[in-house]
Amino acid sequence: MLRGKTIVLGISGGIAAYKAAALCSKLKQEGADVRVIMTEAAAKFIAPLTLQTLSRHQVYLDTFDERDPGVVSHIDLADSADLVVVAPATANIIAKMAGGLADDMLSTTLLATTAPVLVAPAMNVHMYAHPAVERNMALLAERGVRFIEPGTGQLACGYVGKGRLAEPEEIVLAVRSWFTQSAELAGRKIVVTAGGTVERLDPVRYLTNDSSGKMGFAVAEAAALRGADVTLIAARTSDAPPEGVRLVRVESAEQMLQAVLAEYEDADVVVKAAAVADYRPVARSVNKIKKSGERLVLELERTADILQTLGERKTHQVLVGFAAETERLEHYAMDKLQRKNCDFLVANDVSREGAGFNVDTNIVNIYGPQGLIETLPLMRKREAADRLLTLVAAKLAEKERGE
Ligand code: CTP
């Protein structure tokens, strides 16, 4: 299963470091090439020779212990990794990762790598629940780091609670599913729209909305991590777009329509997370509009409904629409899904705290032509994006089988 994959295994200094030996052995048995980096503290708990013997490679401990003059070790390791696994991860290494510190071989390599990172924390129950640790983990999760939750039970420190390193078998399972997932959308072309459109009144004024672009960005990033070829069509957004996607910037609903149509024929999936203006000014003044009189009446006209246009022209594409509602969620969601000929409709009740515009979390229901498919509780948009893409990938596979 892991043949041909290079896994950099980072071991930090907690008592659970002894379990890293079993993990290393199991990853090797699955066919992976395992390169081990240990922190100084880890080497107090378990002998580097154990890991060297199991991995059949030198174990890296010291950034400056350069044995091969032909390479710079931390860069070489960082570049060679298909995946970096940190197990066990102490509160300290998690903090260093969150803060971007690079003061030993492991933290330096973690900073230098562009490979995905899986982290298996292990620490005392109170440390795990500490707001600083929680915040660091949330920050890393936002950057795409995946966590393997620690188990609950008797801890080496004497406490009973959450903080025990996940069992090596579980970590291997997470590694395997990461590789399966990362190839899931390989070769698929996914178009994602994000942000709020801008409808100009004159050279300095415009109508727009509160969309931050976060949900669309989360979908684009998650799709790229699953191997898809992603085109992100973004209007006005407050966040920076993710890396690893092709970015097309647009302003108005009309420009977004043209940009999406240009990609549509070759697309396997279109995710319309953008908040598109329903109306635009009838006239756009070339010069700045001067004030005159007590009242100013703006005349607006309908924009094209992009999603509906795509729905009408759909041949093989999987179409995903979004709906922001404040009442009768299911009723409006199903109405939009049918009207716009979508395969999925992601609906959020923006009147609830933690959902909708300008926050990192969302509470959504995902509907299909048959009705409700999944209700997702409050979770990070990135995680909600992942859940959506699992459904989309299953739909693509279903289509391929001709069902
Ligand atoms: N949408 C679109 N083009 C528009 C308006 C909306 O493609 N001109 C898409 C959005 O990107 C979203 C979905 O349609 O995926 C739902 O948007 P919403 O504005 O809620 O739909 P409307 O039918 O315009 O909603 P309402 O009837 O509540 O105004």
- The pLDDT tens digits of the residues spanning 20-34 come to 999 999 999 999 999
SS3 assignment, position 332:
helix
How many whole angstroms separate alpha carbon 254 and alpha carbon 244?
26
Query: Are residue 155 and residue 206 in the same domain, yes or no?
Result: no
Which two tokens mark 77?
């390791």
Query: Are residue 178 and residue 193 in the same domain, yes or no?
Result: no
- The pLDDT tens digits of the residues spanning 298-344 come to 999 999 999 999 999 999 999 999 999 999 999 999 999 999 999 99
- The pLDDT tens digits of the residues spanning 238-282 come to 988 988 899 999 999 999 999 999 999 999 999 999 999 999 999
Residue 221 lies inside a defined structural domain of this protein:
yes
Q: Which of 156, 182, 208 is the last residue of a domain?
A: 182
> What separation in Å is there between the alpha carbon of 285 and the centre of ligand 1?
26
pTM: 0.80
- The pLDDT tens digits of the residues spanning 65-74 come to 999 999 999 9
Atom from ligand 1 closest to the CA of residue 303:
8
Residue 234 lies inside a defined structural domain of this protein:
yes
Which residue's CA is the nearest one to ligand 1's atom 23?
Answer: 336
Q: Which of 166, 182, 198 is the last residue of a domain?
A: 182
> What separation in Å is there between the alpha carbon of 218 and the centre of ligand 1?
19
Query: Which CATH number does the domain housing residue 88 bear?
Result: 3.40.50.1950
Mean per-residue pLDDT for 338-355? 91
Regarding the beta carbon of 307 and ligand 1, being less than 6 Å apart is answered: yes
Average pLDDT over all residues of the chain: 95
- The pLDDT tens digits of the residues spanning 358-387 come to 778 888 999 999 999 999 988 888 889 999
Q: Residue 169: how many CB atoms within 10 A of its CB?
A: 11
Query: Are residue 220 and residue 291 in the same domain, yes or no?
Result: yes
Query: Are residue 134 and residue 193 in the same domain, yes or no?
Result: no
Is 342 catalytic? The answer is no
Query: Are residue 29 and residue 143 in the same domain, yes or no?
Result: yes
Range of the domain at 176: 6-182
Q: Which of 157, 207, 289, 355 is catalytic?
A: 157
Helix axes 91-99, 105-112, angle to 10 degrees: 40
Number of domains, the chain: 2
Q: Which position has the token pair 């990172």?
A: 117
Residue 144 lies inside a defined structural domain of this protein:
yes
Query: Are residue 124 and residue 208 in the same domain, yes or no?
Result: no
Residue 1 lies inside a defined structural domain of this protein:
no
Q: Residue 219's pLDDT is what?
A: 96
CB of 120 within 8 A of CB of 163? no
**Residues in Cβ contact with 36 at an 8 Å cutoff, skipping those fewer than 6 apart:** 8, 9, 11, 20, 24, 48, 51, 52, 55, 57, 59, 60
> How does residue 182 score in pLDDT terms, banded at 50, 70 and 90?
confident
Q: Which of 167, 182, 197 is the last residue of a domain?
A: 182
